[in-house]
Amino acid sequence: MVEPAITALTEQLKKLGNASSLHSAGRAARKDLEQAREIIAEAIDCAASEVVFTSTGTEANNLAVKGLYWQGVKSNKKVIITSTFEHHAVADPINWLAEHEGAQVVRIGVDRDGFIDLVELKEKVNEHKNNIALISIMHSNNEVGTLQDIDQVVKIAGNIPVHSDCVQSFGKVDLSFNKLGLTAATISAHKIGGPLGVAALILKRGLDIEPVLHGGGQERDLRSGTFNVPGIISFAAAAKNAVENRKERELKVRELKQELIETIKKNTSDAWVNGNIDKSLPGIVSITFPKTDSEGLLLLLDGEGIACSTGSACSAGVQRPSHVLLAMGLTEDETTSTLRFSLSYTNTINEIAKLGSVIATVVARSKAASGKK
C-alpha cells in the first residue's frame, strides 16, 4: 500500500463508526464515506452518485454482468457479447449465466496483439441488435496489457449497455468514464496501492439493474452490506495519489518497460513480447521464452530475488494454459513458456540490470530441464 492509503486507513480505524447508523459516530463515518466517494468519482470522471462500493473487483464485475443481464431479460434480451480473453471475473459469471439461465454468449476474437476485431463486433451487434442485454469488453488486459478502443466499442454498441473491466487501467493511464460513454466500469483499490478487499462499480446515473446481494439496501439498493469505511477511505486516498502523480509515474514505468524488453532481447536469442508494446499498459510485459517451462523459470528467477508470474496473479497456482494467450494464437507449449513481468514506479533501473545479469543462465537451465523440443 502507498503511504497516503496506509495513513488514511489507520486514522479511520481509530473511529470505527458504522456509516449506516444515526448516532454521531455513524454520521461522522457517513460524512467521511461520502467525501471518499466524491474523490473516487473525480479520479475517474463520473458523478459521485455513480460510484457503487463493493468488496472486490470480482464482485463488481459480477454485479455488472449479472445485473445488466437480468435487467435485459425483462425485455427478452438474452444475448451477451464479450471477448475471448476477458478476466475470469467477467468470463466466469458470463459462463454461469449461459449454463444456468440460458444466456446466449457471443465471443469476439482478438488478434496476435490482443485487439478485439471491431469489424466482427459490428457484425454481431447488427445480427443480434434487438436481443443484446449487454456488451462486456475489458479496457486493458491483465496478462498482456493491451489497451482496447473502448470508445469505438461504445460507438458500435449504440444504445446497448457496455461494461468494461478497468481494474488494471485505473490510475495507470488516462481514464474517463464520461468520455468513454460507458454504462458501467469496474475499478479496484489494490491495483493502485490501496487495500485489498475494496472496489467499486461505476454505474451510469438513472440506470436500474438487478442486485446480486440483498439485505440492508445500501448503495442505492444495488449492493447491500455494512460499509467498509476504513477500506473506502483508504481507497480514495490511493486514487487521489495515483491520479495526481499518474503522468510522471506512467512516463517512468514506460521507460523501465522498454529497458526490460531491450535487456531480455539482448540476453536471450529467441524470446518475444506478446501484445502491442506501444498501445498497452505501462507496467505489464508478457514474454515468451520458447522451450522453457514457465513455472520452473519463475522459481529460478525467484531464487535470484526477481519476482514475476506465469500469468494473472489472480490465477496463481492454477496449472492450465492461459486462455488469454491461446486466444491470441499461441500454442499450449508457448503459453507454458511465458512469464508476465509487472513493473511499477517503485522499480529501478538497477533491478532491470539484475534481471539482465541472470536471465540467460536461468533460461538455459529451464530449457535443459523442460524436455521441450
DSSP line for 29-47: HHHHHHHHHHHHHHHHTS-
pLDDT at 88 over 90: yes
Distance CA 351, CA 15 (A): 40
In whole angstroms, give the CA distance from residue 311 to residue 308. Answer: 9
Starting at the edge strand found earlier in the chain, the sheet holding 338-342 runs 272-274, 284-288, 338-342
Residue 318 confidence (pLDDT): 54
Specify the fold of 246-370. Answer: Aspartate Aminotransferase, domain 1 (3.90.1150)
Tell me the domain boundaries of the chain.
3-244, 246-370
Tell me, which fold does domain 3-244 have in CATH? Aspartate Aminotransferase; domain 2 (3.40.640)
Distance CA 345, CA 185 (A): 25
**Starting at the edge strand that comes first in sequence, how are the strands of the sheet with 79-83 ordered?**
51-54, 199-203, 184-188, 162-165, 132-136, 79-83, 104-108
Is residue 166 part of the annotated active site? The answer reads no
Contact 326, 249 (CB under 8 A): no
Of 208, 183, 75, the C-alpha closest to 130 is 75
Grade residue 220 by pLDDT with cuts at 50, 70 and 90.
confident
What pLDDT, in 10s, does the model give residues 71-83? Answer: 999 999 999 999 9
Alpha-carbon gap, residue 230 to 175, rounded angstroms? 25
Quickly state the pLDDT bin for 22 (edges 50, 70, 90): low
Q: What share of the chain is helix, strand, coil (3-state, %, to 5)?
A: 45, 15, 40
For 280-338, the pLDDT digits (tens) are: 999 999 999 999 999 999 999 999 999 999 875 555 455 678 999 999 999 999 999 99
Percent of the chain whose pLDDT exceeds 90: 84
Query: Mean pLDDT throughout 264-291?
Result: 96
- Catalytic residue, chosen from 46, 166, 308, 314, is 314
Q: 38-48, pLDDT tens digit by residue?
A: 999 999 999 99
One fold for 3-244 and 246-370 = no
The pLDDT of residue 61 is above 70? yes
